[in-house]
Structure 1
């Protein structure tokens, strides 16, 4: 919970035009990776079971809300400038994000309506319908495509964050060992 609180506090302190610290970028990268992995796991409810699938996707709402909060400055800036001077990449990313948001709502709404675990656990009984299940499956498949495009648009950022927070620290571990060997030899 400490990581979450510090991330939210950092987000609240951010102002337009301010560069992000490595800690903020690292927190965003970890959160985005968590959402991505969670989504891939949720895409195969047969391997996790329906109960885990439903509770996992319900908890995903929290991580997605945090993701939106962390990126709120960008959302607000592009919204205000959308009709004017915005790069093609930002415009495409903005439209793609809205499509992901709408598709996510369809996934969640249809998921609640076909729930076999979460909703019944709350003592609520909903009539299941084939149309809702079909909408849920179709929306999830569309989300996979949209998430792939979203990932592709952010690939440079993903790779740079990976290099900065994973590859370079691991590389420094080996450099330090090699330097120690040279000193003791």
Structure 2
């Protein structure tokens, strides 16, 4: 008998991608703990994850942009503004990070003269991102909690089920 697989829900995918991005961001914000090489390569991977995140939510971005001054709710507008600021801050971090790279770019043979302007802007954008990301998480806190609860409730239900075959009841044995 073939077992039916449950499709992975989009919400679960979003939660996993968002969680991975958040953890990567936490590690990347502490280059003195992780080392400069991990900081730079992880940050580049985080940039790729950010693009994936935007593509997964592209329909929402377009829909809210279309009705921003019309019928959008105030929470959708606030979320859109926070997300726009977050995008600008992350883009600034990525561009300035590339401009001050000491590991990743030299590894691929590109050398850029280091400028303190880019370093200052990189740090400022990183600090702003922490604040904006905190507000973003606060705005989505109930979604995070509810989605995590549902995900763990589903996984504990699956873990509670035994893989052993249950004995047939008298009615099933006659079939």
Distance in structure 2 (CA, Å) of the matches to 1:165 and 1:120: 42
Distance in structure 2 (CA, Å) of the matches to 1:22 and 1:160: 17
Which ranges in structure 2 are unaligned for 5 or more consecutive residues?
Answer: 1-6, 163-175
- RMSD over aligned CA atoms reads 1.6
Displacement of 1:166: 1.6
Q: Which residue of 2 aligns with 1:78?
A: 64
Q: Which residue of 2 aligns with 1:150?
A: 136
* TM-score, reference length from structure 2: 0.84
1:89 aligns with 2:75: yes
Q: Which residue of 1 aligns with 2:18?
A: 32
Aligned residue-pair number: 156
1:118 aligns with 2:104: yes
Which ranges in structure 1 are unaligned for 5 or more consecutive residues?
Answer: 1-20, 178-185
- Partner of 1:97, secondary structure, is helix
Considering only CA atoms, is the larger Rg found in Structure 1 or Structure 2? Answer: 2
1:100 aligns with 2:90: no
Q: Which residue of 2 aligns with 1:48?
A: 34
* TM-score, reference length from structure 1: 0.79
Displacement of 1:32: 0.5
Distance in structure 1 (CA, Å) of the matches to 2:112 and 2:159: 55
Decide which of 104, 122, 128 is 1:136's aligned counterpart.
122
Displacement of 1:172: 6.6
Displacement of 1:126: 0.8
